[in-house]
Amino acid sequence: MAGYPKIIHTEEGMRDGLQIEDRDIPIEAKIRLLNALSETGLKDINVGSFVSPKYTPQMAKIEELLQGFTPKPGVKYTYTALNDRGHERAKEFMPPLSRKVSESATRVDMCDVFAQRNTNRTQAQQMATWPKVIASAVAKGVTEATLGISNMWGSNWIGEVTLEQQMQMLSKMHNLWDDAGIKVTKVSLADATSWCMPHQVERTVAAIKERWPNIKDFNLHLHNGRGVGLASIYAAMRHFDGNDTMRLQTTIGGMAGCPYCGNGRAAMMIATEDVMHMFEEMGIDTGVDLYKLIEAVWLAEEVVGHSLYGFVSKAGPLPRFNKLYPMDMPHIETLEQAKHFIKGPKAYNGAHSPWPEPITSWMRPEAPGYAEKQAKLAAAPQLKAVG
Is residue 386 included in any domain, yes or no?
Answer: no
Which residue type sits at 208? Answer: I
- Domain termination residue (choose one: 315, 332, 362): 315
Asked if omega into 95 is within 30° of 0 (cis), the reply is yes
Average pLDDT over residues 226-251: 96
344 and 254, same structural domain?
A: no
- Domain termination residue (choose one: 273, 296, 315): 315
246 and 117, same structural domain?
A: yes
Q: What is the DSSP string of 162-230?
A: PHHHHHHHHHHHHHHHHHTT-EEEEEEEEETT----HHHHHHHHHHHHHH-TT--EEEEEEB-TTS-HH
**Entry pTM:** 0.92
Is residue 226 included in any domain, yes or no?
Answer: yes
40 and 26, same structural domain?
A: yes
- Tell me which residue of 206, 300, 246 sits closest to 16, measured CA to CA: 300
157 and 221, same structural domain?
A: yes
**How confident is residue 386, by pLDDT bands cut at 50, 70 and 90?**
low
241 and 222, same structural domain?
A: yes
**How confident is residue 2, by pLDDT bands cut at 50, 70 and 90?**
low
Is residue 91 included in any domain, yes or no?
Answer: yes
Do the Cβ atoms of 148 and 166 come closer than 8 Å? no
- Domain termination residue (choose one: 268, 295, 315): 315
Q: How far apart are CA 312 and CA 299, in angstroms?
A: 15
Q: How far apart are CA 258 and CA 19, in angstroms?
A: 9
Do the Cβ atoms of 259 and 114 come closer than 8 Å? no
Residue 383, pLDDT score:
62
Q: How far apart are CA 252 and CA 16, in angstroms?
A: 10
* Average pLDDT over all residues of the chain: 92
206 and 106, same structural domain?
A: yes
Structural domain for 160, as ranges: 6-315
Beta bridge partners of 372: none
Q: How many CA atoms does the CB half-sphere of 180 hold within 13 Å?
A: 27
Q: How far apart are CA 314 and CA 197, in angstroms?
A: 25
106 and 50, same structural domain?
A: yes
- Cβ-Cβ contacts under 8 Å for 166 (sequence gap 6 or more): 110, 149, 152, 153, 204, 207
Average pLDDT over residues 275-280: 98
User: Kindly report the CA angle at 1 between 207 and 183, in degrees rounded to 5?
Assistant: 40
Which residue type sits at 277? Answer: H
Residue 384, pLDDT score:
65
- H and E: helices and strands count for the chain: 14, 10
362 and 254, same structural domain?
A: no
124 and 215, same structural domain?
A: yes
Provide the domain count of the chain.
2
Q: What is the pLDDT of residues 298-357, one digit of tens each?
A: 999 999 999 999 999 999 999 988 899 999 999 999 999 999 999 999 999 999 999 888
**Is 385 in a helix, a strand, or coil?**
coil
Q: Please tell me which of 50-54, 263-267, 380-384 the model is most confident about, judged by mean pLDDT.
A: 50-54
267 and 369, same structural domain?
A: no
Q: What is the pLDDT of residues 364-374, one digit of tens each?
A: 888 898 888 88
Is residue 275 included in any domain, yes or no?
Answer: yes
Is residue 387 included in any domain, yes or no?
Answer: no
220 and 354, same structural domain?
A: no
- The CA dihedral of 266, 272, 278, 279, to the nearest 10 degrees, is 140
How much of the chain exceeds pLDDT 90, in percent? 72
Q: What is the pLDDT of residues 7-27, one digit of tens each?
A: 999 999 999 889 888 888 999
The CATH number for 294's domain is 3.20.20.70
Is residue 196 included in any domain, yes or no?
Answer: yes
330 and 295, same structural domain?
A: no
**Is 123 in a helix, a strand, or coil?**
helix
Is residue 84 included in any domain, yes or no?
Answer: yes
Q: How far apart are CA 148 and CA 107, in angstroms?
A: 4
- Tell me which residue of 305, 280, 307, 298 sits closest to 342, measured CA to CA: 298
Is residue 257 included in any domain, yes or no?
Answer: yes
Do the Cβ atoms of 137 and 104 come closer than 8 Å? yes
Q: What is the pLDDT of residues 242-276, one digit of tens each?
A: 999 999 999 999 998 777 777 778 788 999 999 99
